[in-house]
Chains A and B, each alone.
Chain A
Amino acid sequence: MEPFRDHRLTVSRDGDAVVVGLGGDWNLRGGLPSTIAIAAAIETSPRPSRVRVETLALGRWDSSLVTVLAQIEQTSAKHGLDLDLSEAPAGAQRLLEIAREGGRRSKGALSILPAASPEIRPPLAWVVGRWVIEGTLNLGDKVPPLTEAVGRFVLESARTTGDKIDFLGSTAVALWRMLVGRTWRLGLGMTTALQEAGVGTLPVLAILAFAGGAVLSLLANQQLGRLGAPLLAPQLVAIVILRELGALATGVALAFRVGSGIAAELATMSAGKEVDALRAMSISPFDFLVAPRVLALVLMGPLLVVYANSFGLLGGLFVGVTTNEIPVAILLESSYAALTLKHAIAGLVKGAAFGLVVGMVGCYYGLRSGKTAGSVGHAVQTAVVAAVLGVVLADAVLTLFFKWVQL
């Protein structure tokens, strides 16, 4: 096969016609010639009335030629000039016609015009300044600048607030209908929901709580020992675990393990039109999908807190005993004294609240996800982030509240 010659595109005037000459071999890998000269020729006076395409030793061609023909066509159409394509290869004309047809079908007119004017090189200072600003505000190509992101977030929040309140209300109604037994005959799968919410979380929660308790105990021993009050350490550890650590570990474990699962499950159901099928049968998705999952989490939350507390205390004791700074008898006695009902209740209430938050958030993002399989991943991602944030915020609010009611 002969080596490719370069494509050639020449523009000249012939009376009232702009003549575009196409020659050489056209190959996409060789790039496209610029068609800007054509527009320039059209705009010179006297104004031409038509455009003619001529071929001059035109060799092999591919879609690069068709693309350029389309550009020529659009340029002439833009200036209201007739176009004579009769000399272009018949095959290229046919392809161009199919492309036009496709453009009409999809209602986007075939638009492949080059940039209207040659790019003007911006001054260097502008380029550098822009680069610095975009570099600071931009985290990557797909991430909008900070200002835009903040704006979007505010608008989006405002737009979906009504929806979120609506969601809360519908969930409350569904929970009520479930508790008074009006929706039981649907077969709500409470057993499965409880199992999903509870049993599945046990292993990860044990590790989380044990490690948390151990680290807490280490720090408390060290710091309080330095202050000369090592005997306070076991008490501090027990109280923090009961009031805070056990519940927080539960909340985080639920968000990661169960919140993500719920969001994925409901998003898949939405994508598979299951939710539509429910609605078509006059079954509320809140009755059937949301209420059992949320209730299961609210019930399991406190139980999991008890479980997390035990492992947290075990972790604390493990460190206390192995570091050997306090006699074991005193350690146990001192820890035990701190285990009061008051502290325990604070943790249990938090556990239930975190269950509620995780359940609602998971269901919300699951049901509000898009209708395609790809939106499942996005729903899970958003749900986990929102659930963890929700748990931490609820924790702060409840801690303040407990302080206020002196629990």
Chain B
Amino acid sequence: MTEGPLIEVRGLTIKGEDAVIQRGLNFTVGRGQIFAIMGETGAGKSRLIRHMVGLEPPAEGEVYYQGDGFWSGSEENRERLMRRFGVLFAGGALFSTKTLIENVAIGLRLHTDLNREDVIAVARLKLALMGLLGYENHYPSEVDEARRTWAGFARATALDPEILFLDEPAARLDPLGARRVDEIIRWFRDDLGATVVLVSNDHETLFSLADEAIFLDSETNTMTARGNPSYLRDHATDPKVRAFLGGGRV
């Protein structure tokens, strides 16, 4: 069976308080791709993710999942699509009144028929993958920032989502942690068949991991480049994109 792109963003406009932040965003993400959104601070990268995962309707345009209109459809349809997503927010955004294992378990409890013991078992596995065993019963405020990010990762991946949205996953990690994130993203794609959409400006992540990337420009208010990051570094038409990727000066 031939299928179209898994995700298609068409004519999307992101609006800020009173100004348009991005307009005319068009791109597709194929199944199994690792797709990076890069751009300067304030260019609307996180907002784009929010539009794609259902937290905020875009000012204009639409996001299609396998041709299915995300915002134009019913709320039930949107919720059904949202169950296929896992979302990691910058900093983890853990539920502060719940322990780490409860944070991971809550989605399992809500969206699966697993019994109590199995929920805990799966949640422990996810925590173990992120190197957090021994911290199950800690509250988010009792562990450091890096561990909160890891726990956020565990929660985002708890249900083995089909599409994983990651907002700056390595922002609060040291370089070693950042490489470990790359590894984890890779095996989520290779072994669990996930499609990954991530916001990242980390060169290593971009060059070694991302199949495709777009660059959101905060001056022209639209995406000024799209393609493989290593290719863009040397061949992007916009000199700013080349400079951003370390391939020359503005």
Contacts and interface: CB of A to CB of B under 8 A. Distances in A.
Interface of A: 104-105, 107, 185-187, 189, 192, 268-269, 272-274, 276-283
A276 B55 contact: yes
A288 to B, nearest CB: 8
Contacts of B98: 187, 189
Interface string B156-200: 000000000000000000000000000000000000000000000
Interface in B74-118: 79, 82-83, 85, 87, 89-91, 93-98, 102, 106-107, 109-111
A281 B96 contact: no
Nearest to A268: B96
A272 B110 contact: no
B95 A274 contact: yes
A187 B102 contact: yes
B110 A281 contact: yes
A281 B109 contact: no
A107 B42 CA distance: 13
B83 A277 contact: no
- Residue in A187, A269, A273 with the greatest tally of chain B CB atoms within 10 Å: A273
Interface centre among B85, B95, B110, B111 (most CB of A within 10 A): B95
Nearest to B218: A105
Given A105-B219, A187-B102, A274-B96, A279 B55 contact: yes
Contact of B110 (A273, A276, A280, A283): A283
B48 interface: no
B79 A276 contact: no
Contacts of B32: none
Given A269-B95, A277-B93, A278-B95, 5 more contacts: A274-B95, A274-B96, A276-B89, A277-B155, A280-B55
A273 B93 contact: yes
Q: When A and B form their complex, which 10 residue pairs have the shortest distance between CB atoms, in order from nearest?
A: A273-B93, A277-B93, A280-B87, A273-B89, A185-B109, A282-B79, A281-B107, A274-B93, A282-B82, A280-B53
Nearest to A276: B55
B232 to A, nearest CB: 21
Contacts of A276: 50, 55, 89, 93
24 contacts: A104-B219, A105-B218, A107-B19, A186-B109, A186-B110, A187-B98, A268-B96, A272-B93, A273-B89, A273-B93, A274-B93, A276-B50, A276-B55, A276-B89, A276-B93, A277-B89, A277-B95, A277-B155, A278-B95, A279-B54, A280-B54, A280-B55, A281-B110, A282-B111
Q: Which of A105, A269, A281 has the most CB of B within 10 A?
A: A281
Interface in B96-143: 96-98, 102, 106-107, 109-111
A279 B109 CA distance: 16
A120 B3 CA distance: 72
Nearest to A280: B87
A187 B85 contact: no
A78 B91 CA distance: 47
A189 B155 CA distance: 19
A199 B129 CA distance: 40
Given A272-B91, A277-B87, A280-B55, A186 B106 contact: yes
Interface string B45-85: 00000100111000000000000000000000001001101
A74 B96 CA distance: 52
A104 B220 CA distance: 10
Contacts of B93: 272-274, 276-277
A366 to B, nearest CB: 13
A281 B79 contact: no
A166 to B, nearest CB: 14
Nearest to B98: A187
A273 B91 CA distance: 9
Contact of A192 (B87, B94, B97, B110): B97
Nearest to A279: B55
A269 B95 CA distance: 8
A101 to B, nearest CB: 10
Contacts of B90: 273
A191 to B, nearest CB: 11
Nearest to A188: B97
A163 to B, nearest CB: 16
Contacts of A274: 93-96
A90 B90 CA distance: 44
Contacts of B50: 276
B82 A280 contact: yes
Contacts of B79: 282
Contacts of B55: 276, 279-280
Nearest to A187: B102
A104 B53 CA distance: 32
A279 B219 CA distance: 32
Contacts of A186: 106, 109-110
Contacts of A282: 79, 82-83, 110-111
A280 B106 CA distance: 13
Contacts of A281: 87, 106-107, 110
Contacts of A273: 89-91, 93
Contacts of A277: 87, 89, 93-95, 155
